[in-house]
Structures are given as structure tokens and as C-alpha cells.
Amino acid sequence: MLPPPIDWREAGLGIGETVPEDRRVTGANWRTWPFNRWAFQHTRMLVPSVPLAGADTPAPLPESPADLSGLRFAGEDGETIDWETYVASTYTDAMIVLHRGAVIYETYRNGMTAGTPHHLFSVTKSVVGLVAEQLIADGAITADLPTAAAVPELGTSAFAGTTLRQLLDMTDGIAFDEDYANLNSDVHRYSASYWTPEVAPGGTLPALATLDRREAAPGTAFRYRTPVADAAAWVLRRATGRSLASLVSEHVWRPARCGDAAHFLLDTGGHEIAGSGLNATARDLARLARFLMAGGPVADALIAGGDRGLFAVGAANMRPDHSYRGFWWVNHAPPAALIAMGVYGQRLHIEPENDLAIIRLASTPLPSNIASDPLHGRAFAALRTHLR
């Protein structure tokens, strides 16, 4: 049983002399519960960052509130719960439901507001994937671009022999243990290049160069691993001569008319963290969702999904009926959904067929989203039925 949600203001979490020392959020504890309840809304106070430029005039979000109080579905323990219980019990910081272009539900909890940027973790990967897919669609780069040709520093690593497409679809075959529950796993050592300059001062590029093991030949199996997104970002930087923030601004944020405060966290080498660094408001994610639901070559190719056979090799038991394309999860079970997810409860769920998008930002006690997938699935199914 997970601990109950807390109010960080009542608990005294934060930074400052008035906060008891054992309650202060620090560079060492900010990603752990309960300190994350405060930290995910204040990352710029904890980690170096760079602003993300958006549209001068953000796209309007019309409002058409709907009453969701009548929704009922099975909770985590099999009991019947309502919508409010679901939202409150899942450590929600912000949630928006967008239907037919209008916001029908919007809530902020845990001290968050509509203007507060929230740490998105691996939703960042999906935004970076949009940049890459747009550059490929425009002919600015090729999907078959060899990783080591663009980034020679990776030529002696296991990334040699991989292509940009294989990175974007996570079929590159690099061996990497992303078990957050195991404190000795690769992901915890690698993340020092994000947050711990005294351990890994050079950032992600030298850390990527040390990944020298394979578990599969390139292009033969899917497996989800965070550093692959950082490798893809280095390919994009070198192929374009541009910073990642400028690429996201030009190819995603401004076209979607996102315009609230947003920023990228920087790795220990001073570069934007592509695997986990974007911070943005729930409303800007709603604008991004509406932009993608409008369709177009990139959005249409993403919702069509990746190679389901390769996905089944590496993730058959993780998410049945899914595939992975351009750093997006794709659920092929009707209605088809395009999904961006980040640890600790971040989720952007888009159903183009139903003109429906659900944005959830949270600060859960546990990083993994796998255990909560069934509950969210039941909640979204009840919502879908209600809207019909």
C-alpha cells in the first residue's frame, strides 16, 4: 500500500532557513518521496536550466466544463471509486481533460497552479522525438543517419553500427539496466551525468561513450532505455549545429503555440537533458496534444506506430497491444492512443479518433508507472464511455 498523499506546505518541505534541516529539499533527495512533492514544481532552484522559448501568443484553450462526478470504476484494490477519489489518491499535481478542442476538466493540487512548470521526466523523450521526426519529414536529416557518423565520440561504444531510426524506436540493442528499484542498476550510475557534477562532470556524452555492451543486434528487438534519447539528441545537435532547446522551440513548441514558462534542465556538461529534462505547464501539454490531434505527416506516422514484432520481442509482457515509435508509446487496442510517459506519474494520453487528450502531472512515491497503468486504463475507459 502506498503512503497517502501529503501537502508539502503542511509538512514543511522546501528550501530556506525556516524549514527544518531534515525536511529540506536538496540536490541529493529531490527525486525521492516526499521531497519530490515540492521539488517537481521548483527544479530551477535545484538544477541548472535554460529557458525554452515558446509562442509570443499562446494558443487559447476554450473551456467547456463537464461534470465527471458520476464516473465509477474499480480502484487499485478492486473497490468502486469515483473520479475525485482517483485524482486525489494518485498524487496528482495537475490534470487536464481536453475533448473536442475544449478543456472539460482542469485541476491543480499540491500547491501547483496553471502557470507552474512541472518536471516531465521522460515525456521529454517524446518531445525530442517530435523534433527528430519533423527534421526527417522535412528532409533536413535522414532516418538512416549512422549514430557514429554524426557523433564520432560514440564510434568505439556499443552505439557504433546503430542509426537514428533505431535510436528513436529503441531498437538499437544497447545493454542497459533501467531498474529504478535496484540502486546498483545502470540507470542510477548513468544519471550521475544529469545531477552529480562531482561524480560525472562531463555530462551525458562521455557517459554514453562508456556504454560498450550489446544485448541484441541493432534493429532486432525493442527495449526501453533512457540514455538512448540522450544519444539521439547528440545526433540532432551535431547534424544541425543547433542546441536542443532551439530545435524544440522551432519545430515543436512554437508551431503548437505553447507559450507558458518552460525550461530544460542541463546535464553536468551544460547541455539539455533529452532523456528527462523538460519542465512545462499542463496547459502547454494540452496545446501540444491539440496540435498533434490536428494531424499531419508526423502525427499520422506516429499514431500508426512502430514495428509490433520487435516490440513484442522486448516488451510483450510490459504493455500488450503496444508498439514504440519516435520515442512515443502507441496503444493499438481500440481506440488507438499516442502516449508520452514519465516516471513518478507524468502522462500525456492522446486519442485522435475520439478527439480526446488527458494530461496528468504528479509526484508519486514510486518512480515506475507500470503498476499504475491498469488503474489509469480503467479511469480513462470510464471517462471515454461517459463522454460518448
- Report pLDDT digits (tens) over 230-274: 999 999 999 999 999 999 999 999 999 999 999 999 999 999 999
pLDDT mean over 373-380: 96
pLDDT interval class at 370 (50, 70, 90): confident
Banded model confidence at residue 16, pLDDT cuts 50, 70, 90: confident
Q: Are residues 228 and 327 in the same domain?
A: yes
| Closest by CA position to 121, among listed 194, 29, 33 | 194
| Nearest C-alpha neighbor of 97 from the set 386, 388, 383, 385 | 383
Q: Are residues 232 and 370 in the same domain?
A: yes
When pLDDT is averaged across residues 341-364 and rounded to a whole number, the result is 97
Say yes or no: 69 and 22 in one domain: no
Asked if pLDDT for residue 225 goes beyond 80, the answer is yes
- What pLDDT was estimated at residue 250? 98
Question: Is 242 in the same domain as 296?
Answer: yes
114 and 28 share a domain? no
Query: What pLDDT is attached to residue 5?
Result: 74
Q: Are residues 22 and 100 in the same domain?
A: no
368, 370, 375, 378: CA torsion to nearest 10: 140
Domain range spanning residue 64? 40-387
By C-alpha distance, which of 40, 39, 37 is closest to 4?
A: 37
Is residue 118 domain-shared with residue 101, that is, in the same domain?
yes
For residues 285 and 103, is the Cβ–Cβ distance under 8 A? no
Among the residue ranges 104-113, 279-288, 361-370, the one predicted with the least confidence is 361-370
pLDDT mean over 118-146:
98
pLDDT score of 11: 77
pLDDT in tens, 17-32: 788 888 899 999 999 9
Mean pLDDT of 298-305: 96
Same domain, 259 and 371: yes
Residues 380 and 290 placed together within one structural domain of the fold: yes
Is 239 in the same domain as 342?
yes
> How many domains does the chain divide into?
2
Q: Band of the pLDDT at 1, cuts 50, 70, 90?
A: low
Which one-letter amino acid corresponds to residue 194? Y
What pLDDT score was predicted for residue 205? 98
Question: Rounded distance, CA 184 to CA 385, Å?
Answer: 44
Residues of the chain with pLDDT > 90, as a percent, come to 88
What CATH code is carried by the domain that includes residue 177? 3.40.710.10
Q: Are residues 241 and 224 in the same domain?
A: yes
Averaged over 155-166, what is the pLDDT? Answer: 98
Residue 125 and residue 105 share a domain: yes
State residue 338 phi and psi, 5-degree precision.
-105, 125
